Structure 1
Amino acid sequence: MDQTHTRALEALQPFIHLATSNSATSPRFVANIITNATSSPQTYVFAELLETSTIQALRSPDTPAEYQGYLKLLEIFAWGTWQDYQATPNLPKLSIEQTLKLRLLSLLSLAATVKPLTYQALMSALSLSSTAELESLVTAAIYASLISARLSPATTPPTVTVTAVAPLRDVQPQSLPKMVTLLTDWETRCGEVVSDLEAEIARVKENAEKRHAKERAYQTHLEEATKRRQEAVEGSNAGSGRGRAGVYGRRGGARLGAGMGNKREADDIDHDDGYWESGDGESGSRMDIDEGAGSRGGGSRHSKRVVGRKA
């Protein structure tokens, strides 16, 4: 789209050169410049041509009436529409090329202001009698890179969906104060939005810092508690070891004392010397010696000899 604007400015330069030349003195010559500029296929901007003194000279009361309307016609081509042309009296009649050019420029303005862009609205604004003429005009605008659009004749209602518009319409001088006011209001709103965003960012950072500080404090408290718990467990383990050693010492001494007591008690008890006392008052040894083995008498078992001392 920017290349289209550049080409339109380049296409206007020859007409500006003619308007600023020394030969551009008669109203008729100036009118011819305007006619040719508005009929050229590549010219879509006209502000620079309008600013020349030669074109502005048509405002003079001395300009013949038949040429006075050309200045207004050029203004309509610069920032007006087809409806403006029809509503303004005493304007020159348009050629076929001028008619197509003004309708294309009007389509740019309508595409930027009217939503949705229906077939019916466009046909009424551009004085077109059929959908075929409208579709042909929109197609010409697309191929000329004036708009990016899609025709939707099957929708209800049929519409032209425009996605991009070339910046080819000039700004009317009377609209500049209004535009300045709008831009100033927009700048003020943007400043307020920026201030609100900065305040929100500061609040988020403050909350984040508080949260981080709380997390650090919690982590520190957790580490201290873990350390105290570990020290307490280590101290408890050390105390348990000393207690076990004392218990083991006491238990060992008890066993030793018990053993010594048992030994003394054993000394007080008669030792078992291997003798026994029979039921009839005789004492004898607990071990019987069989003398029958190898003795006379053969297979009879001899009486056992009791070995031992008598009580």
Structure 2
Amino acid sequence: MDQAHSRALEALQPFIHLTTSSTASSPRFVANIIANATSHPNTYVFAELLETSAVQALGSADTPEEFRGYLKLLEIFAWGTWQEYQETPGLPTLNDQQALKLRLLSLLSLSSTIRPLTYQALMQALSIPTAVKLESLVTTAIYSSLIVARLSPATNPPTVNVTAVAPLRDVRPQTVSTLISILSEWEGRCGDIINGIEAEIAKIKDQTVRNSILKRQCTLALEKAIAADMDGGEDNTGLRSGGRNTKHSLRGGRTAGGIRFGGSSTGGNISNKREYSDDQDDDDDDGYFDNASDGGLDVSGSRMEIDEGAGASRGATRQTKRLLGVGRKT
């Protein structure tokens, strides 16, 4: 669609050069330029030609009446419609190329204003008597890249579905203030939306920072808790280990405390001890055996019991047992 606008501007340039030349002083000459420009098959924009001084001079009181209508005609080609041409008196008669051009330009304007774009509405606005001629006009507009449309003659009512329109119509000067107010309102709405988006972005960033700080605090608290637990575990382990060693020492003292060895080489505890006990004949101990005369172990405060035998009831021979009593009361 932008290419169509570029081609239209390029096609209009020769006519603009003619109106700005020194020979464009005659109203007839300028009117002839307007007639040729509006009949050219590739010209669809006319605002640049309309702004030239030679064309604007046609509206002065000194211009003959037969040429004044060309200024209004060019304005209708720039932003008007076929219906406006039909309702305006005193305008020049159009040739076939001009009539086709004005109907095509009017189709662009009607495509943006009429919904739905029915065959009947277009035929009435463009003064087209039959549906076949209307379809031919729409087909020409499609192949000229003026619109993107699809004909639907089988629908009820038959319609023309236009999806895109080329930007080839000029803006009417009276509507500029209205367009400015519309665009200003649209700009204000866009500004409000942008401010709202920026406020949401600021909130998200602030919440992200808060979440990061909270996460860091939770991580530090967890690390401190783990470190404190590890320190307490080591202290408790030491206490438990010390308690077990103390208990073991106490038990060892109770176990070996009844036997004291005079020699320093024994270390105070007996690693190998033998205990001979006879639960049945413990009361028949008849003496003590002192092993100090042997030059071996020096047993202090200990006594050795010798069992004379199991008695007649057992019917066995006499057995000698040695008992190293630990903490036994005599």
Instruction: Indicate the residue corresponding to 2:131 in structure 1.
Output: 131
- The amino acid that maps onto 1:118 is T
Instruction: Indicate the residue corresponding to 1:9 in structure 2.
Output: 9
CA change 1:285–1:16 in 2 (3 A) is closer
Q: Does residue 1:193 correspond to 2:229, yes or no?
A: no
Distance 2:316 2:71 in 1: 166
Residues 131-178 of structure 1 show CA distances to partners (whole Å, capped at 9, x for unaligned) of 322221121111111122222333444332323221111122222222
Displacement of 1:29 in angstroms is 2.2
Stretches of structure 2 that go unaligned for 5 or more consecutive residues are 260-272, 289-303, 320-330
Displacement of 1:92 in angstroms is 1.5
CA change 1:249–1:286 in 2 (3 A) is closer
- Asked if 1 retains the 8 angstrom alpha-carbon contact of 2:308 and 2:318, the reply is no
Distance 1:285 1:21 in 2: 160
Alignment map for 1:79-158 (pairs within 5 Å): 79-158=79-158
Residues 175-222 of structure 1 show CA distances to partners (whole Å, capped at 9, x for unaligned) of 222222222222222222222222222122122222222222222222
Instruction: Indicate the residue corresponding to 1:303 in structure 2.
Output: none
Residues 59-117 of structure 1 show CA distances to partners (whole Å, capped at 9, x for unaligned) of 12232222221110110000111121112112112111111101111111122333333
- TM-score, normalising length from structure 2? 0.76
CA RMSD of aligned residues (A): 3.0
Displacement of 1:123 in angstroms is 2.4
Q: Does residue 1:161 correspond to 2:161, yes or no?
A: yes
CA change 1:271–1:80 in 2 (3 A) is same
- The amino acid that maps onto 2:9 is L
Q: Does residue 1:68 correspond to 2:74, yes or no?
A: no
Distance 2:119 2:76 in 1: 23
Distance 1:215 1:228 in 2: 20
SS in 2 for 1:94: coil
Which range moves more in the overlay, 118-127 or 68-77? 118-127
SS in 1 for 2:162: strand
Displacement of 1:23 in angstroms is 3.0
Distance 1:285 1:171 in 2: 143
Alignment map for 1:1-311 (pairs within 5 Å): 1-257=1-257, 267=288, 269-272=305-308
Give 1 or 2: higher helix fraction: 1
Distance 1:61 1:286 in 2: 167
Identity %: 56
Distance 1:141 1:191 in 2: 38
Distance 1:152 1:94 in 2: 31
SS in 1 for 2:167: coil
Residues 17-71 of structure 1 show CA distances to partners (whole Å, capped at 9, x for unaligned) of 2222333333222222111111110000111111122211211223222222111
- TM-score, normalising length from structure 1? 0.80
Distance 1:48 1:180 in 2: 21
Displacement of 1:261 in angstroms is 11
Distance 1:222 1:285 in 2: 77
SS in 2 for 1:41: coil
- Asked if 1 retains the 8 angstrom alpha-carbon contact of 2:31 and 2:70, the reply is yes
SS in 2 for 1:150: strand
CA change 1:26–1:261 in 2 (3 A) is closer
Stretches of structure 1 that go unaligned for 5 or more consecutive residues are 288-311
Distance 1:108 1:139 in 2: 13
- Asked if 1 retains the 8 angstrom alpha-carbon contact of 2:149 and 2:161, the reply is yes
Distance 2:307 2:193 in 1: 114
CA change 1:189–1:262 in 2 (3 A) is same
